[in-house]
Amino acid sequence: MLKKKCDINIAQTIDLAQQMIKLAQKGYEQREDPGCGILYGILLDSGYRLLDLAQKEKHTHMKKGWWKRYHP
């Protein structure tokens, strides 16, 4: 469990981005018209961009020593 609120938010953003990617892949496979393809293409692209940014921020926090897990 992370201790700092900013780190928790980043971890949640990473989880959200991964969910976006999974939903986009599933939705694209199950689409029935071009509009859905556009929707899930944008969702997929956005998910990957968000994941990349969040992971970079996580690594920045790790380098600063901020990203620490709390062990009670």
Residue 30 has pLDDT above 90, yes or no: yes
Q: Residue 31 in 3-state DSSP?
A: coil
pLDDT value, residue 4: 86
pTM score, two decimals? 0.86
Residues 6+ apart with CB under 8 A from 58: 7, 10, 11, 14, 67
Q: Residue 47 class from Cβ within 10 Å (0-12 exposed, 13-18 middle, 19+ buried)?
A: buried
For the segment 38-44, the average pLDDT, to the nearest whole number, is 97
pLDDT value, residue 72: 43
